[in-house]
């Protein structure tokens, strides 16, 4: 008798403890403030890791300049990170639905995107460039008229081609991933790829056997990358402060040198 009653008491006690624990975790879950108990909040970060050297996959891990950069910024702001490759179009869905806290993916700050999302301050300067086969007669953007151009769908490369050749022109071949656009040119389906300078330059350099060259054109705008947030995200200010710190304390330069072997022009980001 004694044994079974103490067993029941034990079960009741365990249940009570269990239910209290449930209640507590629900409470913390519904709170919006992070770090309130000294624990590090983990930011869910999404990217399209098919844009080397900015973001790509290496042995199942997402790596690249952007990844080192956001890790340094998050650390500075006191957050842990979890970076997930979701693909380009899904980035915008994940951010709009607030399933992710932020996205880092060589995302150019544009007026159009600013209507639906928030951006951090600029952290990287870039411009579109043209990737062609070595013997190509394409020497400028103007020469792309009448040629087939492969771009990643929904990028500033596509926007530049829409402006040059006409929106939805059949000569613009759109791909969901930039590597697929490059493969299209290599297999003869397109005469050129238009994408961000760092990406096409790195690709041409790393694939000398493919005999590719990069054509630049001054009519392509100077662009700036920003971290993408859901509209009115409370993180924007904190992250901007952390970006400034990382730019000023030498961490940004270190990461830039690691990936590109040269000193960055930090002043241009602060204008």
Nearer to ligand ARG, 113 or 147 (CB): 113
Dist CA 62 CA 86 (whole Å)? 11
Query: Considering only residues 63, 95, 107, 164, which one is a binding residue for ligand ARG as defined by CB under 6 A?
Result: 107
156 makes contact with ligand ARG (CB under 6 A) = yes
Strand order in the sheet with 228-230: 80-85, 42-47, 102-103, 228-230, 117-119
Q: Which of 164, 167, 189 lies closest to 175 in space, CA to CA?
A: 189
CB 232 within 8 A of CB 118: yes
Nearer to ligand ARG, 55 or 76 (CB): 55
User: CB of 140: closest distance to ligand ARG in angstroms?
Assistant: 20
Query: Considering only residues 94, 106, 117, 224, which one is a binding residue for ligand ARG as defined by CB under 6 A?
Result: 106
Query: Considering only residues 72, 74, 141, 152, which one is a binding residue for ligand ARG as defined by CB under 6 A?
Result: 152
Question: Could you tell me which stretch among 8-16, 44-52, 230-238, 263-271 binds ligand ARG (CB under 6 A)?
Answer: 44-52
Hey, how many other C-beta atoms are within 10 angstroms of the C-beta on 232?
8
Residue 218: strand, helix, or coil: coil
197 makes contact with ligand ARG (CB under 6 A) = no
What Rg value do the Cα atoms of the chain yield, rounded? 24
User: CB of 19: closest distance to ligand ARG in angstroms?
Assistant: 46
Hey, how many other C-beta atoms are within 10 angstroms of the C-beta on 60?
6
119 makes contact with ligand ARG (CB under 6 A) = no
Q: Name which of residues 58 to 97 contact ligand ARG (CB under 6 A).
A: 88
User: CB of 223: closest distance to ligand ARG in angstroms?
Assistant: 6
CB 130 within 8 A of CB 192: yes
Query: Considering only residues 69, 102, 103, 105, which one is a binding residue for ligand ARG as defined by CB under 6 A?
Result: 105
User: CB of 174: closest distance to ligand ARG in angstroms?
Assistant: 12
Residue 134: strand, helix, or coil: coil
Dist CA 143 CA 149 (whole Å)? 11
Binding site residues, ligand ARG, CB under 6 A: 48, 50-51, 55, 88, 105-108, 152, 155-156, 178, 196
């Amino acid at each position: 008798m004694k044994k079974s009653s103490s067993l029941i008491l034990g079960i009741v006690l365990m249940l009570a403890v269990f239910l209290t624990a449930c209640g507590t975790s629900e409470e913390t879950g519904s709170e919006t403030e992070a770090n309130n108990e000294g624990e590090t909040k983990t930011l869910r970060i999404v990217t399209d890791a098919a844009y080397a050297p900015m973001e790509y996959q290496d042995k199942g891990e997402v790596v690249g300049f952007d990844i080192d950069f956001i890790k340094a910024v998050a650390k500075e702001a006191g957050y842990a990170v979890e970076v997930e490759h979701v693909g380009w179009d899904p980035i915008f869905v994940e951010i709009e639905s607030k399933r992710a806290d932020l996205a880092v993916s060589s995302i150019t700050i544009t007026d159009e995107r600013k209507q639906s999302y928030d951006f951090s301050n600029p952290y990287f300067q870039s411009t579109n460039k043209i990737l062609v086969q070595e013997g190509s007669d394409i020497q400028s953007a103007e020469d792309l008229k009448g040629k087939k151009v492969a771009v990643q769908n929904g990028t500033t490369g596509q926007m530049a081609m829409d402006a040059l050749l006409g929106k939805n022109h059949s000569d613009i071949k759109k791909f969901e991933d930039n590597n697929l656009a490059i493969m299209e040119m290599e297999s003869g389906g397109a005469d050129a790829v238009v994408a961000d300078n760092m990406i096409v330059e790195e690709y041409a350099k790393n694939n000398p056997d493919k005999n590719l060259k990069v054509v630049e054109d001054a009519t392509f705008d100077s662009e700036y990358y920003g971290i993408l947030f859901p509209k009115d995200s409370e993180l924007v200010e904190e992250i901007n402060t952390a970006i400034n710190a990382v730019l000023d304390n030498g961490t940004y330069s270190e990461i830039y040198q690691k990936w590109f072997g040269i000193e960055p022009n930090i002043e241009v980001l602060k204008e």
